[in-house]
Amino acid sequence: MSDTGLRERIQEALGSVSAEYIEVRVEESQGSHIRYRGKELEEIGRNSNLGGNVRALAGGGWGFACFNDISDLKSKVRMAVEQAKLVTTDRVELAPVDPVVRIVPPVLGKDPRTVPLSEKKDILDHYVETILSTPEVRSSTVQYGDGHRRIVFANSEGTYIEQERIDVTVRLAAMARNNGDVQQSSVSLGSLGDFGFVERLDDQAREVAQKSVALLNAPEVKGGPYTVILDPILAGVFIHEAFGHLSEADHVYNDPKMREIMVLGRRFGGEHLNVVDGASVPELRGSYQYDEEGVESHRTDLIREGVLVGRLHSRETAAKMGEAPTGNARAISYRFPPIVRMTNTFIEPGQSPVEDLFAGVKEGVYARNWYGGMTSMEMFTFSAGEAYMIRNGKVEELLRPVMLSGNLFTTMENLDAVANDLDMNQGGGCGKNGQSPLPVSNGSPHIRIQNCLVGGA
Amino acid sequence: MNILEEILEKARRVAQEAEVFHLEQVDTPVRFEANQLTSIDTRELTGVALRIIKDGRVGFSATTDLSDLDALVQAAVETAPFGAEAQFQFPEVQSVPTVPVFDPAVGDLPLDRMVRIGQQTMDGIRAFSDEVLVSGSVSRSSQTVTLMNSRGGYVQYAKSGFGIGFEGSVVRGTDMLFVFDSLSGCRPIGDSSPVVASIIRQLEYAKHTATTETKSMPVLLMPTAVASVVLSPILVALNGKTVVQGTSPLADKLGQQVASPAFSVVNDPTLPFVPGSRPSDDEGVASKRVPLIDKGVVANFLYDLQTAGQANAESTGSGERGLSSLPSPASSVLVVSEGQSSFEQMLAEMGEGLVVERLLGAGQGNMLGGDFNANVLLGYKVEGGQIVGRVKDTMVHGNAYKALENLIAVGGQGRWVGGGLYTPSIVCADIAVATKA
């Protein structure tokens, strides 16, 4: 994006129409992606984007316009304001924030843009070979992506922010096949601004290959309720899916019944349970300095000693609920208006060594690694990449992948132990309202849940 | 010279073959939240993707910044030495079927009319119960796709779209119920009453709570559940990519019986005014009707140019792409054959069983192998051939292929699920149901 006069043009556009509130974003991004299917490098490509959007409040609700032609910002501002004027509903208020003018440099380790494509390919070739050279592995998928976004944001209250971020992701998957039976294992990893981790995935490549093969001979779990122990990765997905989404205030703010359920002070679990979300926790994939409404990032306590103490807000939801904004308004690109999203979400570590969680479990399931997760507020499902039976406190045979499912409220109550080994998973991409994948991280120590429904034969 | 010709000419100076895909679209969603109009959006997207074949390899780049075409060409050239070996040639100019997918009336529909349609939908649902909180959208769209390649291939078509989608939520204590339905097409939809009726039907069935046991039982999959449980895994297995790769469980089953003879599905992007339809695919290959599973027998796989080349087959006109990546095989408009049974007959024949409206997390398991393992987001217990109420804390578990072998009834009346699937409900015997109750 040629910067000549961009700031002035944005300011001019903001001042060209009268409305209660107007914001303008212009975004420039570049990325590259590489995908292997088996040995074959199936796709390699480079993308660049230039686009912008305008969001306006005029009289009642929102008008929004996004576009690629940024030459006439004034007409786009006019369009958004005209649309907003048609939304004659209850007046949207925005929680006040101080205007800020800042240029934020990117968080940078090894910049993926400085690594030649040939070098990226050589590194990935090696992982493909590692996976495919494992006996009984039939195929693999190896995916790499990097993206650089530069966002210029300004609003009619005087805020002007330039921010850059670089996101790097890798997914390694192995597929083993025996007659008609296909089993797979995968791992997703990511980083905010650092290509370095991509160079150090030998162990992970070997592991996914071996796991996919091992699953061919694994029995299925018998479905039903079990005592379940989750490893940090899966527990992180659990807290993101099951609880995190419900703490996003846009699910709550205009629904009186949901407000009753999510009333601050409500007990969700035992005193060992502490849950946090925060983009100000540094150098994780969900980290940033200002959100997409220009609000400074926070570290928000959601659950403190088992009690609900906070939630995630945009300026709109904060105003509506009479709470302070938390800097959680995010958008995956200029194509979307910002909505309330998580950032880095985790269960804080407790005191217990991991072994203590297993001790005394007569029959249970040890679920590890992440395959996916979804939530419908009250109910959630999350699937483990691998699982083992626990008998008399000991981890025993490998099982086919299991799906854990349940009711948020009872499951949080049944979460009876939190270990001391917090680990953050950086491979996640979150989806909401058509915006996916949004870079997030989530994490937890090992946790134990009593009476959790496990899907099986 | 237009911009596509300009890119093509630049690309041909540095590569043997080239193809330009240009997309221009405008979506206008009118959005409602918690029984209220909340926003009106206009979302424009204009961009171009360039695919080249240089020294036998495929290079790719895409951009929405049309001010620097040299950078676009340069990026494609940079990727080509590492790209896949091209197993195809771009299609020359060919005749494509006439598939009507554009209606100018969509663009002429005023925003306030769309607001009124949304309002009527919400009013209709809330007339049934004012306990329901309704959110959703009414949206219109238009797009122009242009495709041009260095062998003279050229396709351009315009498509319009209109959609109505609403969700109702009922919260009692910590008990939550979400019901959803939508309608879409290439022409304006003035009457949202089918959406209202469907949402009210779901609220009605879910009014009472029922319990079930952990055991195997017949399960009636409503159309949305047919999509997630049965069709998603089958489509992965019929996809030219998994077939060529050898990971598809159907790869060596062409011509073989893999499902009950009562089950047939075709991909037909030539159906008029269906959102997934189009005269040609995104590589300029003419659209055609392709049987996928015919009376339980595997009839065809879905190929784009590259996978067809790898498999020594013909493209089935199934190359799909967005702006940011290469085409890959995908279905456009799936039509599952209707059977004979009415909904009531299917319930009566089940006696005791489960009706699954929607699942949560069906696509998370080992989909390649056909396994599904999902939470019943909305489902009803059937006793004595009657729906007795909603089940909760319940999971279903099984395998799509086994479920289709155990198909015991196919509904006589199909319906559209989104813009790319038409299917009746089906009943499968012996699906494992797990519950806490």
- CATH number at A97 reads 3.30.2290.10
Question: From residue A257, how far is each of A246, B130, B174 by CA, in Å?
Answer: 13, 13, 9
Judge: B64–A456 Cβ closer than 8 Å, yes or no.
no
Q: CB-CB: which of A68, A69, A376 is closest to B360?
A: A376
Judge: B214–A37 Cβ closer than 8 Å, yes or no.
no
Average pLDDT (A267-278) is: 97
Q: Write down the pLDDT at residue A457.
A: 41
Q: Do A202 and A243 fall within a single domain?
A: no
Within 8 A of B44 by CB-CB distance, chain A residues are 65-69
Q: Do A441 and A340 fall within a single domain?
A: yes
Q: Are B354 and B432 in contact (CB under 8 A)?
A: no
Average pLDDT (A35-64) is: 94
Judge: A49–B78 Cβ closer than 8 Å, yes or no.
no
Residue A326 CB partners (closer than 8 Å, separation 6+): A295, A298, A300, A310, A311, A312, A313, A318
Within 8 A of A51 by CB-CB distance, chain B residues are 64
Q: Do A434 and A317 fall within a single domain?
A: yes
CA distance B208 to B231: 30
Tokens of B54: 């240089």
Report the residue of A68, A261, A451 to disrupt the B interface, i.e. the one with the largest count of B CBs within 10 Å: A68
Report the residue of B28, B39, B394 to disrupt the A interface, i.e. the one with the largest count of A CBs within 10 Å: B39
Q: A382 to chain B, minimum CA–CA distance in Å?
A: 7
Q: Write down the pLDDT at residue A4.
A: 65
Q: In 3D, which of A315, A264, A277 has the Cα closest to residue A430?
A: A277
Q: Write down the pLDDT at residue A2.
A: 53
Which residue of chain A is at minimal alpha-carbon distance from B136? A433
Q: Do A396 and A296 fall within a single domain?
A: yes
Which residue of chain B is at minimal alpha-carbon distance from A252? B34
Q: Which residue has the tokens 């959803």?
A: B180
Q: Are B350 and A363 in contact (CB under 8 A)?
A: no
The size of chain A, in residues, is 457
Tokens of B136: 């959703």
3-state secondary structure of A413: helix
Judge: B369–A182 Cβ closer than 8 Å, yes or no.
yes
Average pLDDT over chain B, rounded to whole?
95
Tokens of B287: 């659209």
Q: Do A178 and A249 fall within a single domain?
A: no
Judge: A378–B45 Cβ closer than 8 Å, yes or no.
no
Q: CB-CB: which of B173, B326, B375 is closest to A379?
A: B375
Within 8 A of B173 by CB-CB distance, chain A residues are 261
Q: CB-CB: which of A45, A255, A407 is closest to B326?
A: A45
> Is the predicted pLDDT of residue A456 greater than 70, yes or no?
no
Q: Do A328 and A278 fall within a single domain?
A: yes
Within 8 A of B81 by CB-CB distance, chain A residues are 118
Q: B244 to chain A, minimum CA–CA distance in Å?
A: 10
Question: From residue B221, how far is each of B199, B250, B404, B426, B429 by CA, in Å?
Answer: 17, 23, 11, 5, 11
Average pLDDT (A394-423) is: 93
CA distance A443 to A441: 7
Q: Write down the pLDDT at residue A370.
A: 83
Which residue of chain B is at minimal alpha-carbon distance from A71? B67
Average pLDDT (A376-403) is: 90
Q: B340 to chain A, minimum CA–CA distance in Å?
A: 31
Q: Do A210 and A229 fall within a single domain?
A: no
ipTM above 0.85, yes or no: yes
Q: CB-CB: which of B40, B65, B434 is closest to A224?
A: B434
Judge: B79–A44 Cβ closer than 8 Å, yes or no.
yes
Judge: B40–A90 Cβ closer than 8 Å, yes or no.
no
* CB contacts < 8 A (A, B): 255
Within 8 A of A451 by CB-CB distance, chain B residues are 436
Q: Which residues of chain B have pLDDT under 70?
A: 1, 364-365, 437
Within 8 A of A237 by CB-CB distance, chain B residues are none
Q: Which residue has the tokens 């989750």?
A: A230
CA distance A278 to A249: 15
Percent of chain A topping pLDDT 70: 98
Report the residue of A379, A402, A409, A411 to disrupt the B interface, i.e. the one with the largest count of B CBs within 10 Å: A379
Q: Do A207 and A309 fall within a single domain?
A: no
Neighbours of A135 (CB within 10 A): 8
Q: Which residue has the tokens 């059937």?
A: B382
Task: Answer with the one of A195, A215, A235 that is the final residue of a domain.
Answer: A215
Q: Write down the pLDDT at residue A182.
A: 78
Judge: B246–A371 Cβ closer than 8 Å, yes or no.
no
Which residue of chain A is at minimal alpha-carbon distance from B177? A378
Q: Which domain holds residue A112?
A: 3-215
Judge: A257–B172 Cβ closer than 8 Å, yes or no.
yes
Average pLDDT (A150-178) is: 96
A1 — pLDDT class (breaks 50, 70, 90): low
Q: Write down the pLDDT at residue B435.
A: 87
Average pLDDT over chain A, rounded to whole?
94
Q: Do A113 and A201 fall within a single domain?
A: yes
Report the residue of A3, A34, A43 to disrupt the B interface, i.e. the one with the largest count of B CBs within 10 Å: A43
Q: Do A211 and A287 fall within a single domain?
A: no
Task: Answer with the one of A215, A234, A269 that is the final residue of a domain.
Answer: A215
Q: A280 to chain B, minimum CA–CA distance in Å?
A: 30
Q: Do A120 and A240 fall within a single domain?
A: no
Task: Answer with the one of A215, A248, A269 that is the final residue of a domain.
Answer: A215
- Give me the number of domains chain A comprises: 2
Which residue of chain B is at minimal alpha-carbon distance from A174? B247
Percent of chain B topping pLDDT 90: 91
3-state secondary structure of A288: coil
Judge: B374–A455 Cβ closer than 8 Å, yes or no.
yes
Q: A351 to chain B, minimum CA–CA distance in Å?
A: 31
Q: Do A246 and A297 fall within a single domain?
A: yes
Q: What is the pLDDT of residues B224-280, one digit of tens each?
A: 999 999 999 999 999 999 999 888 999 999 999 999 999 999 999 999 999 999 999
